[in-house]
Amino acid sequence: MNSSQLLSGYDSKHLTIGVLGGHSALDVCHGAKQWAFRTVAVAQKGRDQTYSKYYKTRGDPFDASQGELGCVDDVITVKKFQDVLEERIQEQLRAMNTIFVHSRYFWVYFDDFSKVENDFNVPIFGSRTLLKLEERGSTKLTTGDQKFNQYDLLRQAGIRTPKIFDHPEDIDRLCIVKASEAARGYERGFFLVHDAVSWKKEGTRLEKEKKIAADWRKAPIEEFIVGAPVNFNFFSSPLTGELELMGTDTRRQTNLDGFLRLTAEEQARASQISLKRIEAGHIACTVKESLLEKAFDLGEKFVKATQSLPRELDPSGKGIIGPFALQGAVVAEEGREDVVIFDVSLRIPGSPGLAATPYSSYLHGAPMSMGERIGMEIRSAIDANALEKIIT
């Protein structure tokens, strides 16, 4: 369905902003409430109390002495997240005039992402078909091997990325192998290698210990970038045509963060610990002002590349809409700094602390979360009678 068909029958004066209950749901709901939208979370049973209890709206919004608490107005509880595709759930969402803000959960918890692309008849704020490009190849893709992914997109954009080694025999430097976990295929079981021998030895050991999936030999082998990790979180507005840097952050990872808190002597005694890089959260950080122009240049190149994608990859022809992130590291080389990008988010990043960095304030005059910026864009689209521009 095209944008106008998805919006058919909607009352734009009474829209609801919808999310899956996880990842960035509270960020989106809080931001939506700032722009006077009603909110709904589709939550998985057993994981719903964050939305149905602790951050559920209550109180009287018209009673200034009491005020209203929370940011989630309605909760639809399902057995599993992908049940949002069921016709009865979609009917509920459409009856509420829901515009859905998608997140990483749409990939992680759905067996077949093509059903989101083709069968989810609820308008999505953002780029419906681009999310799969985050993957570097996945068995969940039912349309055959995905030949085009984020590596190709970054290359087309002219953005510097780590060197990729197609064959372990070619490894000539420290590399990171981005394998999948054995237990949770959506999480990465990263491990470091420096040649073909260490690649085989370490991969075989981790597979035997059931820490990485059996298909690790097909996992990407990337040059390990030694630098200061930074995620550049952008917002691309189809309404204004402008690119905004909403904030910068870095990741907290377990159990790596805990290991790094040990002294060198303690680390030596704990060398038998198998390090993991599972994301536990984010830390707001800043970058030198002299790096901002370079960051914006990377963002502009990326937006332009998404807008040039063929229709089989982006049937909407709109390119990236709203939030995205370029995740990488700042490196120092020959007396200058450069930014190397090694990961991409083609939707809202799960980092609600972005407003703690000053970049949105520099532009908007006050701190603004990504959720608030989404709410602002939807409200502006309503006022301009331009909802079709921001949904797919």
Q: What are 174-209's pLDDT values in tens digits?
A: 999 999 888 776 667 889 999 999 999 999 999 999
Q: Considering only CA atoms, which of 330, 370, 373 is closest in space to residue 352?
A: 370
Spatial contact of 75 and 40, defined as CB atoms under 8 Å apart: yes
CATH architecture of 3-125: 3-Layer(aba) Sandwich (3.40)
Q: Which residues is 344 bridged to in the sheet?
A: 326
The whole-angstrom separation of Cα 103 and Cα 22 is: 9
φ/ψ of residue 285, rounded to 5? -145, 170
The whole-angstrom separation of Cα 152 and Cα 154 is: 5
Q: What is the pTM of this model?
A: 0.91
The whole-angstrom separation of Cα 73 and Cα 10 is: 19
Peptide bond into 255 cis (omega under 30): yes
DSSP reduced 3-state for 223: strand
CATH architecture of 150-156+227-252+278-364: 2-Layer Sandwich (3.30)
Residues in the chain: 392
Supply the Cα-derived Rg of the chain in whole angstroms. 22
**Per-residue tokens: 337:** 């700094």
pLDDT recorded at residue 62:
62
Spatial contact of 100 and 123, defined as CB atoms under 8 Å apart: yes
**Per-residue tokens: 168:** 């372990």
Q: Residue for token digits 């997240």?
A: 81
Spatial contact of 133 and 52, defined as CB atoms under 8 Å apart: no
φ/ψ of residue 377, rounded to 5? -65, -40
- A 10 A CB-CB count for 172 gives 12
Give burial (CB, 10 Å; 0-12/13-18/19+) of 311. exposed
How many C-alpha atoms does 146 have within 13 Å on its Cβ side? 24
Give me the residues of the chain with pLDDT under 70, please: 61-66, 137-146, 185-187
pLDDT recorded at residue 184:
73
Q: Considering only CA atoms, which of 183, 237, 235 is closest in space to residue 211?
A: 183
Distances (CA, A) of 366 to 124, 355, 356: 27, 9, 11
Contacts of 159 (CB under 8 A, 6+ apart): 298, 301, 302, 326, 341
DSSP reduced 3-state for 236: strand
The whole-angstrom separation of Cα 187 and Cα 180 is: 6
pLDDT recorded at residue 139:
44
pLDDT recorded at residue 281:
87
pLDDT recorded at residue 143:
43
Name all contacts of 139-143 with Cβ < 8 Å and 24+ positions apart: 140/107, 140/110, 140/111, 140/112, 140/113, 141/113, 141/114, 142/112, 142/114, 143/114
Q: What are 20-73's pLDDT values in tens digits?
A: 999 999 999 999 999 999 999 999 999 999 999 999 999 876 665 567 899 999
Domain spans in the chain, listed from the N-terminal domain onward: 3-125, 150-156+227-252+278-364, 168-223
